[in-house]
Structure 1
């Protein structure tokens, strides 16, 4: 019920977000990551004015409610056709991903629930691109310092290629909607 009343208004009934990247796909995300992001938004550690009204305790409820909605979201099947970019440098992007991202986000973008590293595979290109730029520029304040350090020297062109590559990393079939 919490998901339908709050989250689905922006992320959709299926949790797939929007292809323009305004709202990320949250379906299939690790519940630990969802809990962390909601807590960071609620505490003011992640700037997200659109999300803050929905994350407030008076709307979403206390810790148990956050845990419940995160558990539900993590079971939703993921969008099988996320929005890709138009990079013509996927080979370089794959090298960049392996060099800069794979240690934390995994070889296929599967993330690490125990360390709160998000699953990024199959995320919409525009959302990935915006987050990379915000992390580099310090706008996304809850990013891990290691990630901020890792991406600080990358150009917008490299970000475009990287976001395109990651958007094409597909989750395993059992996580995808039919």
Structure 2
């Protein structure tokens, strides 16, 4: 009986530890005041389409990007100093807040939808795999594999990141796969799939 109680106590303590380690969305909202100028108060970044929407993004993915900016694994002159003072709890709180927000969906350029959808769902004739294989049919991503949610993301931001993966100025994806994917896409294909993603939900 004592052994059973002891085991139950350890399980309860472990569960409490996990709960305490999770981000606090309310604290994240307070901390996000510094982020709002670029990413918007709710993470929908309406100011500049080159800045990503954080709303609805997987918390693990947000945390990885913040860690990478802080460590210099992902380069950005604006984000590096913003991430530098953040500790792990700050990052968890911000991730909890932004992931809890609802992403707004944009509208795809009509002349690029057909080509963009084909690339997203079937890949390119040059051998680039379908985006939907990792990012999901509706662009929701894969939280377990840390593949980001793309649906509704700004086309300009998506295109910028694909080009950065292609030219090697960004290389902080989980397994280096994005460089190979982007290398097989032309500028026109990047523009088309980015537009499709902007209206995807």
RMSD of equivalent CA atoms: 1.6
TM superposition outliers: structure 1 runs of 4+ over 4 Å: none
Higher relative contact order (CA 8 A, sep 6+): 1
**Deviation at 1:19?**
5.9
Distance 1:88 1:131 in 2: 22
> Which of 104, 123, 126 lines up with 2:134 in the alignment?
104
The TM-score with structure 2 as length reference comes to: 0.76
Report which of the two structures shows the higher radius of gyration computed on alpha carbons. 2
Does 1:14 find its partner at 2:45? Answer: no
**Deviation at 1:83?**
5.6
- Note if contact 2:112-2:195 (Cα within 8 Å) is conserved in structure 1: no
Residue correspondence of structure 1 range 7-156 to structure 2 within 5 A: 7-18=35-46, 20-56=48-84, 58=85, 60=86, 62-80=87-105, 82=106, 84=108, 86=109, 88-98=111-121, 99=123, 100=129, 101-143=131-173, 144-156=175-187
Q: How many residues align?
A: 164
- Note if contact 2:50-2:154 (Cα within 8 Å) is conserved in structure 1: no
> Which of 32, 35, 39 lines up with 1:3 in the alignment?
32
The TM-score with structure 1 as length reference comes to: 0.86
Distance 2:183 2:110 in 1: 20
- Note if contact 2:38-2:48 (Cα within 8 Å) is conserved in structure 1: no
Residue correspondence of structure 1 range 162-173 to structure 2 within 5 A: 162-170=193-201
Change (3 A) 1:48 1:55: same
